[in-house]
Amino acid sequence: PKTAYVRTKPHLNIGTMGHVDHGKTTLTAAITKVLAERSGSSTSYVSFDRIDRAPEEAQRGITINIAHVEYETDTRHYAHVDMPGHADYVKNMVTGAAQLDGAILVVSALDGVMPQTAEHVLLARQVGVDHIVVALNKADAGDDELTDLVELEVRELLTAHGYGGEAAPVVRVSGLRALEGDPRWTAAVEALLDAVDTYVPMPVRYTDAPFLLPVENVLTITGRGTVVTGAVERGTVRVGDRVQVLGADTETVVTGLETFGKPMESAEAGDNVALLLRGLPRDAVRRGHVVAAPGSVTPSRHFTAQVYVLSAKEGGRRTAVSTGYRPQFYIRTADVVGDVDLGERAVAQPGDTVTMTVELGRDIPLEAGLGFAIREGGRTVGAGTVTEVAG
């Protein structure tokens, strides 16, 4: 029998971001190890191999989300997503980051700020991650003077993206040495966790709003049915509740709820959950669909947005975009083509912030304030916010 999830501490969603090979996965494993070894701990150690496994292998249990681990500090329960650093996976970062209450930016003290470091900070800003704690990793192998320079560089990067780099905690760590049990570096990981606990505030949760969950993943549990996973964006859901599946255009009932393999009676805004949905065929629902309280959202395809067009230096385009441009829009977990209209302005250069109207290829739930990324040929070319939805 599975033990039920008991909500004893506030729950937050956090994640590692940063350039490939700077040590995100190693640090994630080290965090679980350090916390698992605290006395009276309820955290389980998750090894590097279990975090970095291939997605197909990850879909065993019903709530095993790819690269999600959970841990508890003295004051909080965290769901932590270890986001892949490679540019091809930025779209996963966008959708993962959209639900993050805070992030740990991992920067190798040996290499400093790299292109993906900057890209992730920019995307984090765009999707509404308000607090970043910096882990200057591989501090065991770097020399102090060089690490000081890297620290300055990271603080400047944060400030350039509106994060207040002066005040942000920057903690020198070694994920690798902490994983090996070295006391000095174990203490450094503890210090990093204290910084996360104190610097990332408890976010406001809209638990009274109508329930909404963007579908991240769909699984089939033999003998039980179709399960969708994701983070609850707002509201509360209980076993027995009727829900609407937007995209699948159907209504169904929630017959089971779990978080990290533990059954729960009700899930609320901020929780990472799996919902078992009655009688829903596996192929009826996909990533990008939205599960919501019936009648609470009206999908549409026209909106106005404020968009920042990334410069070439940030990995964006070298040439201007103009009316008629048709990139992919990454909104919540959805990936939809859209027609861009720049109005009288007609063109936008890389580095510009512009107002545009967009007509998506299909209707999805939209609302003012929603952040999104614009992608083209496997790279991010823009980041925006919906300012107005037209019927």
- By beta-carbon proximity to Mg ion, the closer residue of 49 and 344 is 49
DSSP secondary structure of 76-91: -EEEEEE---SGGGHH
* Catalytic status, residue 24: yes
Contact flag: residue 20 with ligand GDP (CB under 6 A): yes
Partner that binds at residue 22, options Mg ion, ligand GDP, none, CB closer than 5 to 8 Å by kind: ligand GDP
For 327, which DSSP code?
A: -
Contact flag: residue 108 with Mg ion (CB under 5 A): no
- By beta-carbon proximity to ligand GDP, the closer residue of 25 and 126 is 25
- Between 195 and 214, how does the x/- string for binding to ligand GDP read (CB under 6 A)? --------------------
Please identify which of the residues 11, 19, 22, 24 carries the catalytic annotation.
24
- By beta-carbon proximity to ligand GDP, the closer residue of 79 and 354 is 79
Q: Please, what is the angle between helix 115-126 and helix 90-97, to 10°?
A: 30
Which of 11, 24, 287, 375 is close enough to bind ligand GDP by CB under 6 A? Answer: 24
- By beta-carbon proximity to ligand GDP, the closer residue of 20 and 390 is 20
Partner that binds at residue 175, options Mg ion, ligand GDP, none, CB closer than 5 to 8 Å by kind: ligand GDP
Partner that binds at residue 43, options Mg ion, ligand GDP, none, CB closer than 5 to 8 Å by kind: none
Between the alpha carbon of residue 361 and those of residues 214, 300, 334, 364, the distances in Å are 18, 10, 12, 9
Beta strands in 7-144 (DSSP E): 11-17, 68-72, 77-82, 102-108, 132-137
Q: What angle do CA 133, 93, 9 make, to 5 degrees?
A: 55
- Are 188 and 157 contacting, i.e. CB atoms less than 8 angstroms apart? no
Please identify which of the residues 74, 75, 86, 198 carries the catalytic annotation.
86
Task: Give the torsion sign (CA, 320, 323, 326, 331).
Answer: positive
- Between 195 and 234, how does the x/- string for binding to Mg ion read (CB under 5 A)? ----------------------------------------
Between the alpha carbon of residue 179 and those of residues 37, 56, 59, 129, 219, the distances in Å are 11, 26, 26, 28, 32
Please identify which of the residues 11, 19, 25, 82 carries the catalytic annotation.
25
* Catalytic status, residue 33: no
Contact flag: residue 25 with Mg ion (CB under 5 A): yes
Contact flag: residue 186 with ligand GDP (CB under 6 A): no
DSSP secondary structure of 237-252: EETT-EEEEETTTEEE
SS3 304: strand
| Catalytic residue positions, numbered | 21, 24-25, 86
